Amino acid sequence: MARKLGVLKMKKRLNNSVEVTVVFPVYNEADILSETIEKTRTTLNTFVRSYEIIIAEDGSTDGTDYVASSLSKQNSFVRHLHGEKRLGRGRALKKAFKKSRGEVLVYMDVDLATDLKHLKSLIGAIWENYDFATGSRLLPESKNERTFARRLTSKSYNFFVKTLLGSKISDHQCGFKSFKRVPLLGLIDEVAAAHWFWDTEVLVRASYKQYKIKEIPVEWKGSRKTKVNLLRDSLDMGFQVIKLWWKLKTTSPS
C-alpha cells in the first residue's frame, strides 16, 4: 500500500512539474512589468519546452499588484504571488521557489539589467549538471555599464566576501541566477537573509556544501531607477558578511 501511494505521489509530481520556473521578485514596477514578461516569454519559447513565470510581488503600492494579477489571468504560464506587506527580496524569493513547479529554477531582476541573450546559457548550465549558476559582471569577458563608484563598491564587496568567507565566486550579487531544484530547496531554509544579501548567502552556503557552481560572463546595464542606496546598503551588506562568517564559524563541525 505504501509503495502504491509513493508511485501515485511521484506521478502527481511529474504531472504538475514544468521544465523551467522563472521568478521575478517585484516591488513597485508597474511601468515595466508587462514588457518584461513578454520579452521573457519570447526568449523562453526559443529553447524551453515548458515553463512558468512567477511574479513574486512584494507589497507594492503603485498598482503593480493589479498589473501582475491581470497578466496571470491573461497568460496560463504566469503566476502571481502577492504579499500585503513588503517581505524583502530574499523572503519573496524563498516563498516563490517553495511554490514553484520547475525542475530548473531561475530568478532575474525585473528591469532585465542582464541581457536576455544569456538566459539560454544560464539554464543550460543546470542542464549540463551544474547545481547552481550565476551571471557575473566581473569576469574578464563581461561587459557592464555602471558608475565608477558602483564598480568600486562592487569589487570591494566581492573581495571582502572572498577573503572572509573563502568564496571563489567573482560576483555574488548579480540578479541573474539558476538552480537545480533539489539542491536549492535543500538549503533554502538555512538562508536567513531577508533582502539584498540573499544572493551572497545562497552562493556561499552552496559552496560550503560543495555544490557545483558555474559563473557566466554577462552583458549588464544598470537601471537609473535602482532601489539600492549605495551607502546604507553597503554598510548593511558588510555587516551581513561578518554575521554569516560568525554563524558558519560557530556551526561548522570541528
Catalytic residue list contains 199: yes
Overall size of the chain counted in residues:
254
DSSP 148-198: HHHHHHHHHHHHHHHHHH----S-S--SEEEEEHHHHHHHGGG----STTH
Q: Which of 65, 109, 199, 233 is catalytic?
A: 199
β-sheet bridge partners, residue 106: 22, 178
- CB within 8 A of 8, min separation 6: which ones? none
Rounded CA-CA distance 104/182 in Å is 9
Residues 59, 29: Cα–Cα separation, whole Å: 11
Q: Where are the alpha helices (DSSP H) in 54-88?
A: 64-74
CB half-sphere exposure, 177, CA atoms < 13 A: 25
Give the integer Cα–Cα distance in Å for 177 and 41.
17
Residues catalogued as catalytic = 199
